Chains A and B, each alone.
Chain A
Amino acid sequence: MTARRLVWLRRSCQALFLAFFLLLLVESRLPLDVYQDYSLAFLSDEDLRLWWPVTFFFQLDPLVGLTSLLSAGVLISGFFWGAAVLVLTLLLGRVFCGFVCPFGSTHHAVSWFKPSLKGDRMVRANRKSGGQRVKYFLLILLLAAAVLGLNVAGWLDPIALLFRSLALAVLPAVGNGLRAVFEAMATSDIRIVKLLSYGAEILVAPVFGYEPKAYQTAWLIGALFLTILFLNRIRPRFWCRFLCPLGALLGLCSRFSLLRLEKYPDKCTQCNLCTRSCQGAACPQPGESWQTAECVTCFNCFDVCPEDALTFTFRFTPVMTEKPDIGRRAVIGGLLGGVSLPLLGRLDGLVDKTGDPRLIRPPGSLPESEFLQLCQRCGQCMKVCPTNAIQPTLAEAGMAGFWSPHLVMVQGYCEYTCTLCGSVCPTGAIARISAREKVERPVKIGSAYVDRGRCLPWSGNAPCIVCQEHCPTSPKAIYLIDELVSGPEGKKLQVQLPYVDLKRCVGCGICENKCPVRGLPAIRTIAAGESRSMRNQILLL
């Protein structure tokens, strides 16, 4: 194949996979046209599920599979996709980085659209540098931490990072902006503008979400994402070259790649075009030793070389290429960091002593230590949650659980028969449960308690039964007792006082969500009583 064609093949693959990633990202939500056959619904509890394989890119990502295997000893569903990528890397090098990775393609596109440097400066920038070892350091750190039971790969894994950034920060921010415009248009007196706004909303809502979404710490996620994009101004594909732990993993595997860059030094005129267009600082120039582990197989050097001094060929004779330049410091540093992180992460006592009461994990979540072995903090569950209840943590789960999911009931609540979050979790940190299981076991995520000082009837301010009305269990976990209470100025008031029956309460939080006392509601949900933890039980079972 000619170099030109190869480059175009790469570009088409990148575009295709990026588009597919975005499609799956957008489709990670309940669509509008879901419906159940009600003649069947009288009989069966078929669960609402997503049609698209929304976790595909996580299955394709060997770092997700490997860290899950190391930390929890679990083979995630669809792990063979990741294994296939590893085998492909053994044969062809980092083709995943060059052809598939949507985050890599984003950087590639940004670097191409606005090249950071020109001419000789670019040539110098693309020479191999010690900074490229940082990614090995990060990889070793993540793997070592995973072995010790803390899986934080998702912080830096490119697929998880991209998904989280787009789903929790970029889409909601753009969506809210557009929605504000449409709402302004909808209030217009001019009929056509009004109709246009409805039309536009119908087009935009399926992509950006049907209702405004909000996520805690989304500003941080967004700022980090923009920073990482900005780094492309310093070096092309900065992230892939210096930071990406997945790139490092694939780099290590590419050592035996059959696909080799052949150099013909006698043809070379030292024009430096190859180095200038190199995306991975992999030393393509004849006379230098090609760095297989750094090469993202973009085929730019092959394409730009005017003298045919470079070509990619298959070599079946076992030739060891240049050893990946990891560096002893990266190994030692990574190991030290990786060992320290799980130990330091437990110092706050949130895993071993007592959890934060606000740490209400999604229904079906594994016990905390196992949860932290698997959660990728990718944001899938947060994106898919129809009520926007699942939020990334800041401090609720401690350092070790940063950006892992928890429910914030003033934002949303856990719908009684909804089990979407578990059905899209790529690693099974949230188990895949059916609605029937969730109701019948029952799966409790916490429990509610009444704050009598704030409660309208308890404080003698007004009759109110909103928490009881919304309580989804049957019989209801919130029950009412008729009582005469003293209202303002001692006036007697006949009201129904809400009480919580802890045996029945599943901690869904709809009571907290609908309570008329906003902000800090008069009935609140805490993690105590969650069925995933034996130690966190309130009642003697």
Chain B
Amino acid sequence: MEFDHRMTRRETLHTLLKLTGTATLAGAGFWPTAARSAAQRRRFYIEVAARFEGTDVKTLTRKTFEAAGGMQRFVSRGDVVVIKPNLSWARRPELAATTHPEVLQSVIELCQEAGAKKVRIADNTIHDARRCFAITGAGQVAKQTGADLIYPRSSLMRDMNLRGSRLEVWPVFTPLVEADKLINLPVAKHHSLSRLTLGMKNWIGGVDGSRWSLHQDINQTIVDLAHFFEPTVTLIDAVRIMTRNGPSGGSTADVAVKNTLILSDDPVAADAGAAMLFGSRPEEIGFIRLGQKQGLGTADFQQLDYRKVAV
């Protein structure tokens, strides 16, 4: 907003109307629910696993959101929804280096069914974005669903203050912060430094700049980024996971089938639950420990509104 120009009468009226409107709405929203807010704020954790191998991935995704009370719980009519999958590498979907295209497709469809005005797929990839989007299947998904595929480019990167304890001003991929609702849709895989790449680490694909230096304090930078982006909900794709050679993999020998999806509005809990799939205890993972310590969420996901569903 500009402060150095004189407001016209019209503008003044406009602003006043807006202010009173906002205040009324906020008050109205707050009044009856204030007592229940603590209960409502209780976060949830849902883990859905297919009982049989070969269960349709799309069904699995739908069941997961159904268990959480439907996509309309997260997405309202007219929302601009931005989905942040992990499409870092130009790898075929079977190699588990990137988010499963069918999970991505169902999430987009669910958002559209919930009345989203626009669904965007955005990721600042590591390999060339055109090749990543083409080979991971995201390009085809975008084409079929009509979602916008946002290609990372320098004009979409804006320096922002992340207010992290390690990261301050850093270039951010703007579509991610210009969303009404942000859905984090990572794939679960191995990583040589942070041990695992899950939901919180997925936000490294939300910034630009000298990302190669983040590794010098990987856990704190992951937590800083997770604090900054704060998605509406995190859905971790563990349909198949990469158990070694991460994060880029490159061989089906590195892949294990889990047929599992984890949905949570607590980023730390989602990661903690996913870590269990690798046979790790959550507290072994540095960024999960640090995330809990710095108040981002809880690693003790069973404390939450916890549900485990078999389909």
Residues of A within 8 A of B (CB): 30-38, 41-42, 45, 48, 179, 182-183, 186, 189, 197-198, 201, 205, 210-212, 386-387, 415-418, 456, 462-466, 468-476, 480, 496, 514-516
> Which residue of chain B has its CB nearest to the CB of A35?
B139
Interface positions, chain B 129-152, Cβ under 8 Å from A, are 130-131, 133-137, 139-143, 151
Give, as a whole number of angstroms, the nearest-CB distance from A280 to chain B. Answer: 44
> Which residue of chain B has its CB nearest to the CB of A513?
B212
With a cutoff of 8 Å between Cβ atoms, the chain A residues found around residue B92 in the complex are 38, 41-42, 45
In the assembled complex, 20 residue pairs joining A and B whose CB atoms fall closer than 8 Å, in A order, are A32-B130, A32-B151, A34-B130, A35-B140, A38-B136, A182-B155, A183-B155, A197-B155, A205-B153, A211-B154, A386-B131, A415-B127, A415-B128, A417-B91, A418-B128, A462-B216, A463-B193, A469-B247, A474-B250, A515-B212
Whether A473 and B250, one on each chain, are in contact in the complex, defined by CB atoms closer than 8 angstroms, is: yes
Give, as a whole number of angstroms, the nearest-CB distance from A483 to chain B. Answer: 15
Since A469-B191, A469-B193 are in contact, a sample of 11 more A-B pairs with Cβ atoms closer than 8 Å, ordered by chain A residue number, is A36-B140, A38-B137, A42-B92, A201-B153, A417-B91, A462-B216, A465-B215, A466-B215, A469-B247, A472-B89, A474-B254
Whether B135 and A41, one on each chain, are in contact in the complex, defined by CB atoms closer than 8 angstroms, is: yes
With a cutoff of 8 Å between Cβ atoms, the chain B residues found around residue A32 in the complex are 130, 151
Given A386-B128, A496-B193, check contact A514 B251 (CB 8 Å): no
Given A183-B154, A468-B192, A474-B251, check contact A516 B131 (CB 8 Å): no
> Which residue of chain A has its CB nearest to the CB of B126?
A470
Given A36-B137, A463-B193, A474-B253, check contact A212 B212 (CB 8 Å): no
Residues of B within 8 A of A (CB): 2, 89-94, 101, 126-128, 130-131, 133-137, 139-143, 151, 153-155, 191-193, 210, 212-213, 215-216, 218, 245, 247-251, 253-254
B134, B216, B251, B253: the one contacting A456 at CB < 8 Å is B216
Give, as a whole number of angstroms, the nearest-CB distance from A538 to chain B. Answer: 23
Q: Name the residue among B137, B141, B253 with the largest chain A CB count within 10 angstroms.
A: B137
Whether B130 and A417, one on each chain, are in contact in the complex, defined by CB atoms closer than 8 angstroms, is: no
CA distance A418 to B247 in the complex (A): 19
CA distance A469 to B127 in the complex (A): 13
CA distance A35 to B132 in the complex (A): 9
With a cutoff of 8 Å between Cβ atoms, the chain A residues found around residue B139 in the complex are 33-36
Whether A516 and B210, one on each chain, are in contact in the complex, defined by CB atoms closer than 8 angstroms, is: yes
Q: Name the residue among A34, A456, A496 with the largest chain B CB count within 10 angstroms.
A: A34
Q: Name the residue among A201, A387, A463, A472 with the largest chain B CB count within 10 angstroms.
A: A472
CA distance A179 to B140 in the complex (A): 29
Whether B247 and A186, one on each chain, are in contact in the complex, defined by CB atoms closer than 8 angstroms, is: no
> Which residue of chain A has its CB nearest to the CB of B136?
A38
With a cutoff of 8 Å between Cβ atoms, the chain A residues found around residue B247 in the complex are 469
Whether B155 and A210, one on each chain, are in contact in the complex, defined by CB atoms closer than 8 angstroms, is: no
CA distance A515 to B192 in the complex (A): 16
4 smallest A-B Cβ distances: which pairs?
A: A38-B137, A35-B139, A474-B250, A474-B251
CA distance A469 to B245 in the complex (A): 8
CA distance A469 to B193 in the complex (A): 8
Given A36-B140, A42-B92, A210-B153, check contact A48 B127 (CB 8 Å): no
With a cutoff of 8 Å between Cβ atoms, the chain A residues found around residue B248 in the complex are 469-472, 474
